[in-house]
Chains A and B, each alone.
Chain A
C-alpha cells in the first residue's frame, strides 16, 4: 500500500493519534478514544512549516530594528533594541546576563529557523542519511522553543518595576510584540513539522534510487 516503508503504521493504514497515541484505522478520521482528527501524516507539513518559518523571519526584522523598550529619564528618551541591550550589558561586564539574553533572543530563534529549514530541505531532497540525528535535532528544536520568551518577560518585569514618576519610566516597545510573534510562530512551525517524514524516505523506491546512485559512482 502507498509509498510508506513496510514497517510503519501508515503502511498498514493505521494512524497514530497525536493527542492520545492510540493506533486506529485511518478510515475512522477521528480518534475513537479522544476524538482528535486522525491523519497518516500531518497534512501539508512541509508547506505549512515553511510558510510559518518565512513569517518568523519577516517578524524577526522589526523585532531587531525597533526598540524592545524605551527608558524615559528626566525628560530624555533612550530606545534600546534587543542587540543593543546585549551589547550594553556586555560592556558593563554583566557577561552571564548578556549571554542568557543573547542565547534566548538570537541563537535560539535563528537556530530554530535554520534547523527547521534544514529539516524541511532534507525531507524534500529525500535524504536517507543520519535519520536518527535529524530526529534528535527536531526534538531539541521543539524543546528549546519556549525559552526564547525570556527577553519579553524581562521587559515585562522592568516596565512594571521601573515606574518612578517623572524621574525614571520604562515603556515596552513594538519589538516586544514582534518578538513574541517570532516565538509563537516558530513554536507552531515546530509543531507542524512531521518528523515521520524523515523516516518515510526509507521506502523501497528511495532505497533503490540510492543503491543505483552508488552503483554509478
Chain B
C-alpha cells in the first residue's frame, strides 16, 4: 500500500482511503464510528466570523459588572475577573489560577490562535506561525471550559435566588453570547481540513 492518499482512524487505526467530501458532509470510520473529518458549510469563513464575534463579546465580558447581589440593604457587584481573584485572596491561590485559566486565559488564547490560523488560510497565504497556532488551538481547546462556567453561574444564581435579589450585568450576557460563539467557532473547525490547508499553503 502507498502511504499517500490514505488516512487512518485516530480511534481504531483502520487504514482508509482519503475521503473526498463536499461541503456539509462528514466522514465516519466504518469500523468504530469515529468522525474522521467533516466539511461544514463555509467552514473557515463561518469559523472566523464566530471567532471575531466571540472576541468582541469576551472583551465586553471583562469590562462591565458581571453579577450584582442585593440583600437586606446591602449590595455587592462583581466583575468576571473577581470570581477568580476573590478565591485567590481567600486562601486558595491554585484554584484561583485554574479558574482564571479555564474561563478566561485559555479561551482567549484559543481565540487568538484561531484568528492567526484563519486569516492567512482564508487568503491562501503562508505564515510563519501557522503550525504553532494549529498546535495551540487543537491542544488547548479541550481545556477551555466556557460552557461549563455558564452552567456554574446559573447554578449559583438558583442557589442564591431564595436569599437575595440577583441582577444580571452586561458582562453576564456578553459571556453567555461569547460561550455560544466560541462553541460555534470551535465546532465548525475541522482538524484534518485545517492541517491539510496549512500543508497546502506552506508547500507553495
Contacts and interface: CB of A to CB of B under 8 A. Distances in A.
A161 B69 contact: yes
A171 B148 contact: no
Contacts, number: 204
B33 A135 contact: yes
B138 interface: yes
Interface in B170-200: 191-192, 195, 198-199
Contact of B134 (A25, A34, A163, A167): A34
B137 to A, nearest CB: 10
A171 to B, nearest CB: 5
B12 A161 contact: no
A213 B110 CA distance: 51
Interface residues of B, number: 64
Given A19-B138, A34-B134, A172-B92, A153 B152 contact: yes
A132 B31 CA distance: 7
A150 B148 contact: yes
A19 B136 CA distance: 10
Interface of B: 1, 3, 6-15, 31-34, 36-37, 67, 69, 71, 74, 76, 78, 82-87, 90-92, 94-96, 98-99, 102-103, 131, 134-135, 138-139, 142-143, 145, 148-149, 151-153, 155-156, 158-160, 162, 191-192, 195, 198-199
A199 B33 CA distance: 13
Given A14-B3, A14-B8, A7 B95 contact: no
A25 B8 CA distance: 12
Contact of A199 (B32, B149, B192): B32
Closest 10 A-B residue pairs measured CB to CB? A153-B152, A9-B8, A20-B195, A160-B86, A157-B156, A8-B13, A199-B12, A16-B8, A172-B92, A196-B13
Name which of A153, A158, A165, A172 has the most chain B CB atoms within 10 A of its CB.
Answer: A153
Contact of B148 (A34, A94, A101, A153): A153
A163 B142 CA distance: 32
Given A149-B152, A156-B99, A180-B95, A162 B158 contact: no
Nearest to B149: A153
Contacts of B9: 16
A160 B76 CA distance: 9
Contact of A23 (B8, B12, B95, B139): B8
Interface residues of A, number: 69
Interface in A123-152: 131-132, 135-136, 138-139, 145-147, 149-152
Contacts of A196: 10-13
A21 B156 contact: no
A94 to B, nearest CB: 6
A149 B102 contact: yes
Contacts of A136: 33
A94 B33 contact: no
A29 interface: no
Given A97-B155, A132-B32, A147 B3 contact: no
A14 B143 CA distance: 29
A167 B71 CA distance: 11
B61 to A, nearest CB: 14
Contacts of A160: 78, 82-83, 85-87
A35 interface: yes
Given A156-B84, A171-B90, A187-B142, A21 B131 contact: no
A24 interface: yes
Interface string A78-96: 0000000000010010101
A177 B135 contact: no
